[in-house]
Structure 1
């Protein structure tokens, strides 16, 4: 594994390295729009097959095709983010907003760390979707209070995840902690928040 910088060099001048929430969110929105466009293109490529009788029958009996399609979209997202993170530490949105992802130990990001970061990055979005779904069910359910409480708790957990870097001592997001990485300003990529 190639070392980009020594661990000691990475931890120097740490207070200047961590970006703020708005920069993180702007970069994330930029990348999300690109991934959305890729997923729309992939959907258009799959649509002709979805209307064939063979696939309609398979989907009607097992539901497996829908799950396979959804997993495929998640894999596309991983290839996008993982590819950029492992090759240069920057996605297109990160380049635009002058951010870079680096490992805390100074080594280059590998595909395993990129997978951990990607899966951790999905957690708040899944909580957001879960909370929204539960609140929608609350409208139609006789047990509306239980759905509302669960939905609000899921949304609060998602909000906590999105705001976490602002309150974390090292300004690390959940996915940074999970993968042993952090975001830094690209002009100061040698600096990582101190332990």
Structure 2
């Protein structure tokens, strides 16, 4: 009799284990266009602040007199120095944009805007994207926006719901469901 009881207990345990779904972020659907764009707008405000402060640093180093209480020429309008208008300055800002997104994506798979809109980025095979994927994603994402958002609107035509930069960087975005309150 004990062996039969032992067999029925293990059968019950197997049944309970099969009834319980295993949670996986990979089973979630990709977020829609408007949810993605809302996260971009949210991140855009934060990125603007980061780039603003990042611009103040070289501006102060190259022309500290612009930051004095009484300007030397008593003018109100200030122009950027020539070094802050060239290709080196643009490369500096581009590097900061890549580091901004790459750091968030590599750390937790989410920027602050993605956290607010419950979106997570992953490598197609799962896991965090590589730095190479982050760079490709930022570059193709900029092209997607510059093309009037066509890279994002493409989601409606793509059978997997992927944007241009998702395909190019071999990454996917997942919508994270809301946590249900525990009673």
Residue 46 (structure 1) aligned with residue 58 (structure 2): yes
Deviation >4 Å, runs of 4+: none
User: What is the rounded CA distance, in whole Å, between the counterparts of 2:143 and 2:173 in structure 1?
Assistant: 18
Equivalent position of 2:174 in the other structure: 184
- Give the TM-score, by structure 1 length: 0.64
Give the aligned CA root-mean-square deviation in angstroms. 2.5
User: What is the rounded CA distance, in whole Å, between the counterparts of 2:144 and 2:175 in structure 1?
Assistant: 23
Does the 8 Å CA contact 1:10/1:104 hold for their aligned counterparts? Answer: no
1:184 partner SS: strand
Equivalent position of 1:152 in the other structure: none
Equivalent position of 1:170 in the other structure: 160
Cα drift, residue 186 of structure 1: 2.3
Does the 8 Å CA contact 1:121/1:174 hold for their aligned counterparts? Answer: yes
Cα gap change, 1:25/1:65 in structure 2, threshold over 3 Å: closer, same or farther? Answer: closer
Residue 71 (structure 1) aligned with residue 83 (structure 2): no
Residue 111 (structure 1) aligned with residue 145 (structure 2): no
Equivalent position of 1:134 in the other structure: none
1:86 partner SS: helix
- Give the TM-score, by structure 2 length: 0.68
Cα drift, residue 121 of structure 1: 1.1
Select the structure with the greater relative contact order (CA < 8 A; seq sep ≥ 6). 1
Cα gap change, 1:17/1:47 in structure 2, threshold over 3 Å: closer, same or farther? Answer: same
Does the 8 Å CA contact 1:99/1:184 hold for their aligned counterparts? Answer: yes
Does the 8 Å CA contact 1:164/1:173 hold for their aligned counterparts? Answer: yes
User: What is the rounded CA distance, in whole Å, between the counterparts of 1:163 and 1:92 in structure 2?
Assistant: 23
Q: 2:48 aligns with which of 11, 36, 39?
A: 36
Residue 101 (structure 1) aligned with residue 113 (structure 2): no
Larger Rg: 2
Aligned length: 140
Unaligned runs of 5+ in 1: 1-8, 53-58, 128-156, 189-195
Cα drift, residue 81 of structure 1: 0.4
Cα drift, residue 173 of structure 1: 0.9
